[in-house]
Each structure stands twice: as structure tokens, then as C-alpha cells.
Amino acid sequence: MSKITTVLFDYDGTLMDTNEIIIESWQYTFRTLTGKEGEVGKILETFGEPLRATMAKFFPHHDLEEAVDIYRSYQSTFYKKLIQMFPGTPELISQLKERGYKLAIVTSRLRPTTIEGLEKYGLLDKFDYIVTADDTAKHKPDPEPALIALERLNSRPEEAIMVGDSMFDMGCGRNAGTTTVMVNWAMAADAQKEKWQVYPPDYSIDRPEDLFQVIEQIENMQ
């Protein structure tokens, strides 16, 4: 087994607690377009999926770009106020960086709000590369986002870990050939558990610091 040199992180629900802003953005869109709120469980099942793909499923009879604009108008107003880092994730990033790991963000979120969130918590300079929905023609669970990050970091899949909270993250990492690690602290992790068998994670962790134990286990495998 190769030594782990690289860690790819999803953003929403993995490092950043964006649950409230995402759910409220969806509910605002549902109220605007249908006059009633959507089912929270159904919304959670889509976490990690590209926005337009979900919009097309939820609102097949509405103009796609109008729906996207409604959603993003709400997010742009309240995003920075409502987001917060999950406990222990800033420390995990700092410790990984200090130990010399190459770090990247691989997210289906657009670049401006990804950067805004990382800057809010002083973490932007901790990442060697950031792949967002703006940078790829294909999206999770397709391997392209992870493969772009690995290429830019000059890393091989077998020496990389993909850390995320959704089946889309696990699919992206698995399809790219990386080890996959599911975090158990996000709402999407519970909501999508029944669908994990599509892309089962190699490992799961309950606390950010548990990632170091996973890395040790991987490197001790012969």
C-alpha cells in the first residue's frame, strides 16, 4: 500500500456546516415556485449533487435558470452569516498541513462562495488546490473533479484519500481510484445511508481527528 500523501476534501457538510443555509435556500425556492415547502428528507438526499441536476428533478415544469437564480439570490444574502466550520475541522486542516500532506478541496459548489467560506475562517492558504463546479465539465460522482485535483497536485490515486459526507463524494473518490472516507457528523450522511451501497466508503469517521487513525491503518496494510 502506498504512503498517503494527499487528502481531498469535500466542502459542504464535510468541512463547512452549510446545512442550514442549503436547506433554507431550497425552502425559499420551493415557496417561491410552488407556494409550499419541500420535504427535508428529500432535500438531504440530494446533498452533494450539482445544483442544476437537483433543480431539474425538483422543478421539472419551471424554467431551470429562474429556479437557480431564486436559490442563489437567497444564498448570496445569508450565506456568510449562517455558515460555520464543524468542530475540529480547522484543527485537522492545520495539523495535516503541518505534517506535509498535500490538501485540496473538491466541491460541487461554485468558486466564489467556496473561497468566501475558507477566507472567513482563515483556511484558504492551507489548500494547495481547489476544484469547484466552475472547473469541471463533469461532476460527482464522476471522477473528473478528483482527477483534476490529483493531476494538479502531482499525486497518484493510490496515495490519496477522498473525504466527504455524501454518496456523490464517495463515488467521485472511488471512481478516481482513491481511498474514500465518509464523515458521520453531517446530515447528508444519515439521510443517504440506505444509498451508500452504490458507492460504499472504505472507512468512516466520527470525529475529524480520527482521520489520522485511518491514514495509519492504510499505511500499515501490506
What 8-state DSSP symbol labels residue 31?
Answer: H
Q: In this structure, are strands 16-17 and 84-85 parallel, antiparallel, or unpaired? A: antiparallel
Which sequence positions are flagged as catalytic? 10
Element (H, E) at 163: strand 160-164
Q: What is the pLDDT of residues 143-201, one digit of tens each?
A: 999 999 999 999 999 999 999 998 889 999 999 999 999 999 876 666 556 655 778 99
Q: Does residue 222 have a pLDDT over 60?
A: no
- Contact indicator for 25, 54 with CB cutoff of 8 Å: no
DSSP string, 7-27: EEE--BTTTEE-HHHHHHHHH
Name which of 196, 62, 53 is nearest 133 in CA terms. Answer: 53
Q: Which amino acid is at 78?
A: F
Confidence at residue 196, expressed as pLDDT on a 0 to 100 scale:
58
Residues 6+ apart with CB under 8 A from 87: 208
Confidence at residue 127, expressed as pLDDT on a 0 to 100 scale:
98
Query: Does residue 103 lie in a domain region?
Result: yes
**98 with 196, same domain?**
yes
Of 66, 82, 98, the residue that ends a domain is 82
Query: Does residue 134 lie in a domain region?
Result: yes
Domain holding 119: CATH number?
A: 3.40.50.1000
- Contact indicator for 125, 119 with CB cutoff of 8 Å: no
Peptide bond into 90 cis (omega under 30): no
Query: What whole-number distance in Å separates Cα of residue 105 and Cα of residue 128?
Result: 9
**10 with 72, same domain?**
no
Confidence at residue 189, expressed as pLDDT on a 0 to 100 scale:
60
Query: What whole-number distance in Å separates Cα of residue 212 and Cα of residue 222?
Result: 18
Q: What is the pLDDT of residues 38-62, one digit of tens each?
A: 999 889 888 878 889 899 999 999 9
**43 with 131, same domain?**
no
Query: Does residue 159 lie in a domain region?
Result: yes
Q: Which amino acid is at 130?
A: I
Q: Does residue 1 have a pLDDT over 60?
A: no
Query: Does residue 95 lie in a domain region?
Result: yes
Confidence at residue 207, expressed as pLDDT on a 0 to 100 scale:
96
**78 with 89, same domain?**
no
Query: Does residue 164 lie in a domain region?
Result: yes
Query: What whole-number distance in Å separates Cα of residue 81 and Cα of residue 94?
Result: 23
Q: What is the pLDDT of residues 111-150, one digit of tens each?
A: 999 999 999 999 999 999 999 999 999 999 999 999 999 9
Confidence at residue 31, expressed as pLDDT on a 0 to 100 scale:
97
**29 with 117, same domain?**
no
Confidence at residue 188, expressed as pLDDT on a 0 to 100 scale:
62
Query: Does residue 136 lie in a domain region?
Result: yes
**148 with 90, same domain?**
yes
Joined together, the cell numbers standing for residue 177 give: 481510484
Query: Does residue 1 lie in a domain region?
Result: no
The more confident residue out of 220 and 89 is 89
**Any bridge partners for residue 85, and if so which?**
16
pTM: 0.87
DSSP string, 110-147: -HHHHHHHHHHTT-GGG-SEEE-GGG-SS-TTSSHHHH
**13 with 37, same domain?**
no
Confidence at residue 191, expressed as pLDDT on a 0 to 100 scale:
59
Of 82, 109, 127, the residue that ends a domain is 82
**200 with 124, same domain?**
yes
Of 61, 82, 103, the residue that ends a domain is 82
**101 with 207, same domain?**
yes
Confidence at residue 41, expressed as pLDDT on a 0 to 100 scale:
85
Domain count, the chain: 2
**47 with 126, same domain?**
no
Number of H helices, E strands in the chain: 10, 8
**199 with 120, same domain?**
yes
Looking at residues 20-40, what average pLDDT do you find?
Answer: 94
Confidence at residue 86, expressed as pLDDT on a 0 to 100 scale:
95
Domain holding 76: CATH number?
A: 1.10.150.240
Q: Which domain holds residue 158?
A: 6-17+84-220
Query: Does residue 72 lie in a domain region?
Result: yes
Q: Does residue 19 have a pLDDT over 70?
A: yes
**65 with 78, same domain?**
yes
C-alpha distance from residue 98 to each of 101, 142, 186, 192 (Å): 8, 31, 26, 33
